[in-house]
Amino acid sequence: MAKSESTGHDDIIETIVDYKKGLRNKITAPKILAEQMGISIGAASAFLKEMKRGNVTQIRGYEKTPEHIVKGRTGKSNQKKNF
């Protein structure tokens, strides 16, 4: 049973994004995710392993980019259109 009341969805999403960016390894990420979601470590490990390495900002739904970088992108080809 998931522990969504005690741990917010943001913490779970940040753990997944950290894993996909390489900030957490395949040993520590499932342990943290299992604790946050209230599932077994094996299930958390399988969940992370099966996820595609797509654009991790799409998992989050927003981009954590400093404001000065966003201002520099304005009017250029790498300007974000959906966020």
**Is residue 60, in this structure, part of any structural domain at all?**
yes
**Is residue 2, in this structure, part of any structural domain at all?**
no
**Is residue 50, in this structure, part of any structural domain at all?**
yes
Residue with the larger pLDDT of the pair 75 and 54: 75
**Is residue 24, in this structure, part of any structural domain at all?**
yes
**Is residue 1, in this structure, part of any structural domain at all?**
no
**Is residue 83, in this structure, part of any structural domain at all?**
no
Query: Do residues 33 and 48 touch, judged by C-beta distance below 8 A?
Result: yes
Within 13 A of 48's CA, how many CA atoms are on the CB side?
29
Question: pLDDT tens, 19-73?
Answer: 888 888 889 999 999 999 999 999 999 988 887 666 665 666 666 777 887 777 7
**Is residue 78, in this structure, part of any structural domain at all?**
no
Total domains in the chain come to 1
Model pLDDT, residue 4? 43
Tokens of 17: 């994004």
Q: Which pTM does this prediction carry?
A: 0.59
**Is residue 52, in this structure, part of any structural domain at all?**
yes
For residue 25, what are the domain limits?
9-73
